[in-house]
């Protein structure tokens, strides 16, 4: 989960880093944080989505390409449709200049529902240092109006982790099985190291391992050693918390495969 393309990687490099780190399947997000790509420039996002589609083409069994659109820009829902045609299998959305409960993103949510695209939402503090107010976890309650949308809130919503856990808990309180729940949380970097164990531990204790997805949040190109280091850090945290091997397997692979509608190997 949650590998960022930058426009500077090749599929060969990505696959060999994955081989080196023992990663069989990775979600690759279209570039949007590295020039010339920008969330505020719709033409650049179309180019980013074309780039992501070309990057994963021919390796779709190992690379799940995620499109990026800005719902506040005209044509965002049409761009989602176009990306489905390109073979992209999910959507990454970053509320930056729009709120998840606004009217603007609803057409994008509808397109994602229609094509059963899982959506990875940024949640919590945002790297631009300006947009975090749009990314509060509770704002994603608006997704309940799109009940078949399958969302993952990234970074455990840090620093609003309690809020993210509470949002994800509601379906469990209503008795839904984990696979039927609308929200998952990714445990990718967000909480800095002194917070990580406590925050991941709380999420595990409250939600269970089934709703947690591992993500490295690394920027490509990176080495297999980089991916391996990210995995080892997360594995050490899960181990210290006392997750069973079966639970750790869920977090590292099975939950993401279910979420992508991919079959476990």
Pick 29 or 243: Cβ nearer Zn ion: 29
Residues β-bridged to residue 91: 67, 119
Which range of residues in 37-45, 175-183, 213-221, 256-264 is near Zn ion by CB under 5 A?
213-221
Whether the CA torsion 190, 162, 67, 1 is positive or negative: it is: positive
Residue nearest to Zn ion (CB): 217
- Interface residues for Zn ion in 143-162 (CB under 5 A)? none
Minimum Å distance from CB 245 to Zn ion?
A: 27
Q: Is the peptide bond before 221 cis (omega within 30 degrees of 0)?
A: yes
User: CA nearest 229: which of 217, 243, 246, 245?
Assistant: 217
Q: Which of 217, 223, 229, 257 binds Zn ion (CB under 5 A)?
A: 217
Pick 2 or 250: Cβ nearer Zn ion: 2
Minimum Å distance from CB 265 to Zn ion?
A: 25
Under the binding rule (CB under 5 A), the answer on residue 33 touching Zn ion is: no
CA–CA dist 158, 174 (Å, integer): 25
Which range of residues in 35-43, 73-81, 164-172, 217-225 is near Zn ion by CB under 5 A?
217-225
CA–CA dist 211, 213 (Å, integer): 7
Which range of residues in 18-26, 113-121, 170-178, 209-217 is near Zn ion by CB under 5 A?
209-217
Which range of residues in 80-88, 113-121, 171-179, 210-218 is near Zn ion by CB under 5 A?
210-218
Cβ distance 86 to 53 under 8 Å?
Answer: yes
Pick 113 or 217: Cβ nearer Zn ion: 217
Which range of residues in 36-44, 205-213, 215-223, 250-258 is near Zn ion by CB under 5 A?
215-223
Minimum Å distance from CB 226 to Zn ion?
A: 14
Strands (E), the chain: 3-4, 26-29, 63-68, 90-93, 119-121, 151-153, 183-186, 212-213
Overall size of the chain counted in residues = 265
Give the H/E segment covering residue 163: helix 161-173
Residues that bind Zn ion (CB under 5 A): 217
């Amino acid at each position: 989960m949650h590998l960022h393309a930058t426009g500077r990687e090749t599929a060969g490099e990505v696959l060999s880093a994955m081989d080196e780190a023992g990663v069989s399947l990775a979600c690759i997000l279209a570039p949007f944080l590295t020039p010339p790509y920008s969330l505020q420039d719709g033409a650049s996002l179309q180019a980013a989505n074309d780039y992501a589609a070309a990057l994963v083409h021919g390796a779709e069994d190992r690379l799940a390409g995620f499109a990026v659109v800005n719902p506040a820009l005209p044509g965002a829902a049409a761009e989602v449709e176009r990306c489905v045609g390109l073979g992209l299998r999910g959507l990454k959305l970053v509320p930056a200049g729009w709120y998840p409960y606004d009217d603007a993103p609803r057409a994008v949510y509808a397109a994602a529902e229609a094509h059963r695209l899982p959506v990875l939402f940024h949640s919590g503090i945002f790297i631009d240092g300006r947009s975090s107010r749009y990314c509060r976890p509770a704002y994603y309650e608006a997704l309940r109006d799109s009940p078949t949308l399958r969302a993952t809130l990234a970074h455990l919503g840090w620093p609003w982790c309690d809020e993210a856990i509470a949002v994800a808990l509601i379906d469990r309180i209503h008795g839904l099985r984990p696979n039927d729940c609308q929200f998952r949380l990714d445990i990718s970097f967000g909480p800095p190291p002194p917070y990580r164990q406590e925050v991941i531990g709380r999420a595990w204790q409250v939600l269970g391992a089934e709703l947690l997805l591992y993500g490295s949040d690394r920027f490509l190109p990176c080495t297999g050693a980089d991916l391996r280091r990210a995995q080892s850090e997360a594995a050490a945290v899960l181990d210290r918390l006392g997750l069973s091997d079966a639970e750790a397997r869920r977090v590292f692979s099975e939950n993401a495969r279910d979420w992508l509608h991919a079959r476990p190997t």
